[in-house]
Structure 1
Amino acid sequence: MDLSKFDPNSVGLKTNNIFGLPFSIDDAALVLLPVPWEVTVSYRNGTARGPENIFKESLQVDLYDADVKDAWKQGYYMLPEDRNIRKKSNYLRQCAELIISCLSEGGDVNCNNQLAGKRKEVNEGTRMMCDWVYEMSANLLKEGKLVALVGGDHSTPLGLIRAVADQHEEFGILQIDAHADLRDAYEGFTYSHASIMFNVLKEVPQMKKLVQVGIRDYCDEEVAVIDDNSDRIRTFFDADIKARQYEGETWKTICDEIVAALPQKVYISFDIDGLDPKLCPDTGTPVPGGFELEQVFYLFKKVHQSGRKIIGFDLNEVSCGEHTTDGIDAIIGARVLYKMCNYLVASKDR
């Protein structure tokens, strides 16, 4: 694409696409799929608005990246939101809230025909969303595009991960998250946001290694899954990372260990609540602890410098709902998204 008339130092134009870039879908090497979905969130709403708010704040991101210079010139383009997906999410969210309310009061959904029917409807709808993401992603990948996903809650990337798996015999996932997301059908929802990695383990055999980083909120069931799948899961718990640092180890040493656990091909799944909640105060399920943004960017840099190939990514749980404070969630989300885009296109020819 001819960029001679585009000034990367000027204000981000609303008439352009993500980050104020002038690319069309045909010109772009990387296509971002927004998925405005939050059906099974178990605490606070708002993540369905993540893609639109990240897009808005992306116009304030400076394009110069000292770690990955001029990567944007290969072209980034975010697809328009699918209104039917948003409408389906809004309706099914109402169904899920009734079910969650019943469970939180000690009720039994199986004893209520109406709620049992709504749970079935939620499970069918979330499966539809996963299949829609798969079809959209698979078609873009067949066209030679790099594909990444912007959620939405953390249930949204399963379809993309399945589509990426069709193109690679084996790969690993680097998961940045406060939660392990290894619950089996949490709250009765097969494709719950809290079950994404459980479903990946079950449905994506090409995913050979799940490396979880920053986990600090999990249950006995998830610990059992980790222990029973030591060949496929390596978890770096937040408390262990902090203890090692308190006792004198550097973040570099820990990052080197994290990177060493990853195979050559890496997909990154970033739940924004992996960060310190001061950086994402409005996310759906904030947890004390977590990382500074610079720590995660340093880890990404070490993955890139290791020669590993990043084959896709998702960014989820950037919530901008009723609990919004100063709007920092989407500001942070836009910068995370830009850094991940840069590293993805920078490794595409490896």
Structure 2
Amino acid sequence: MEQKVFDPDGVGVDNGTYFGLPFEPETAELVLVSAPWDVTVSYGAGAAYAPDAIIEASTQLDFHDPLAPGRWRRGIATADVDYSLQEESQRLRTDAARVIEHLEGGGCPEDDYVVRKIRRVNEGCAAMNAKVRAQAARWLDLGKIVGLVGGDHSTPYGLIRALGERHERFGILHLDAHCDLREGYEGFEFSHASIMFNVLRDVEQVEKIVQVAVRDFSEREALTAAQSPRVETFDDLTLAAGRFRGETWDEQCRRIVGALPQEVYVSFDVDALTFENCPHTGTPVSGGLSFNEAVWLLDTLARSGRRIIGFDLVEVCPSAQERLDAITGARLLWKLCGLTLKSNDKPNL
């Protein structure tokens, strides 16, 4: 579909792209890549189906955004979805589920049966990372901003690696119920619970990870966060305590953003939000941010003068019974796109 016949005030167009937008990746400013993958999820699966569900839900969205009016006109394009990832995810998920069942039943992680399956999963996850990294690199080298739609929270690793190869230093604004600082969780090196551990280990260009709304983590993760000068935590309970004592959310957002460097990558796990926004997400946790609190934080980041160099949206788990998760995902993705483009506004000459 050519852009000249696209009517933003008309009926949503079901053309297989996010938001039904008509842009081609080669001419758009922002390119969305998809990673339909959820091999290592340790509780509820389904995030591998999020890209298609979000695409479907996104056609019901209206385009005017008061926080970033008209930014979408600079181009938000959908890269071709690599469905071989989804097929491989389904195959390897069976192996991963058997490993998890074995360990949860008290089985030994050194059993040959488990070791072989863990090796297959780790090899498959490494291949997925390489594919995402190569796809991201293609668009980054063409001067595009890249956003990733997962999939589980292991999927952005390749994009973050690609950004690390092209930026001297940047920070990560990490919204999540979990710290994701576990080393090789359940034997899986590239677990959804290990993404930030792996980034600290492998991407030295990430000088700061600012974690927001985390509220479910192990003692070792808490120690890792406390001991690393590259991690700053604004946990959910501490944020709530500040508000109970009279600190406004706006003040807290400015404090959070103040901990970040000039260039920022946003990693948004939907379970950072409260239950009613994402009832089927893989590992839900009581507490969290409201939708508007999360959006206000993102807008505070965009208004701060910092530049968003990329982002991901992960752990959206669509349900056949209700569409709320996909609807939330579509609207979060729209805000992330618009505010990312806003943060990349060119100064008036």
Give the TM-score normalised by the residue count of structure 2. 0.97
State the superposition RMSD in angstroms.
Answer: 1.3
Counting only pairs closer than 5 Å after superposition, residues 13-92 of structure 1 correspond to structure 2 as 13-15=13-15, 17-92=17-92
Counting only pairs closer than 5 Å after superposition, residues 122-133 of structure 1 correspond to structure 2 as 122-133=121-132
* Aligned twin of 1:262: 260
* Aligned twin of 2:331: 335
CA–CA distance in structure 2, aligned partners of residues 6 and 213 of structure 1: 38
2:248 to 237, 247, 250: 250
CA–CA distance in structure 1, aligned partners of residues 116 and 199 of structure 2: 26
CA contact (8 A) 1:16 1:22 kept: no
* Aligned twin of 1:209: 208
Deviation at 1:326, TM superposition (A): 2.3
Structure 1 vs Structure 2: percent identity of aligned residues?
45
CA contact (8 A) 2:24 2:78 kept: no
CA–CA distance in structure 2, aligned partners of residues 2 and 107 of structure 1: 57
CA contact (8 A) 2:2 2:22 kept: no
Q: 1:2 to 1:189 in 2, by over 3 A?
A: closer
2:289 to 288, 291, 311: 291
CA–CA distance in structure 2, aligned partners of residues 325 and 103 of structure 1: 31
Question: Secondary structure of 1:193's match?
Answer: coil
CA–CA distance in structure 2, aligned partners of residues 252 and 26 of structure 1: 38
* Aligned twin of 2:302: 304
CA–CA distance in structure 1, aligned partners of residues 324 and 63 of structure 2: 19
User: What letter corresponds to residue 336 of structure 1 in structure 2?
Assistant: L
CA–CA distance in structure 1, aligned partners of residues 57 and 2 of structure 2: 25
Deviation at 1:77, TM superposition (A): 1.4
* Aligned twin of 2:199: 200
Question: Secondary structure of 1:98's match?
Answer: helix
CA contact (8 A) 1:282 1:325 kept: no
Matched, 1:161 2:160: yes
Q: 1:2 to 1:50 in 2, by over 3 A?
A: closer
CA–CA distance in structure 1, aligned partners of residues 288 and 333 of structure 2: 18
User: What letter corresponds to residue 314 of structure 1 in structure 2?
Assistant: D
Deviation at 1:48, TM superposition (A): 0.3
CA contact (8 A) 1:181 1:196 kept: yes
* Aligned twin of 2:10: 10
CA contact (8 A) 2:96 2:118 kept: yes
Matched, 1:346 2:342: yes
Gaps of 5+ in 2: none
Matched, 1:190 2:186: no
CA contact (8 A) 2:109 2:115 kept: yes
Aligned residues: 346
Q: 1:34 to 1:16 in 2, by over 3 A?
A: closer
Give the TM-score normalised by the residue count of structure 1. 0.96
CA contact (8 A) 1:270 1:316 kept: yes
User: What letter corresponds to residue 290 of structure 2 in structure 1?
Assistant: E
Question: Secondary structure of 2:63's match?
Answer: coil
Deviation at 1:24, TM superposition (A): 1.8
CA–CA distance in structure 2, aligned partners of residues 98 and 88 of structure 1: 16
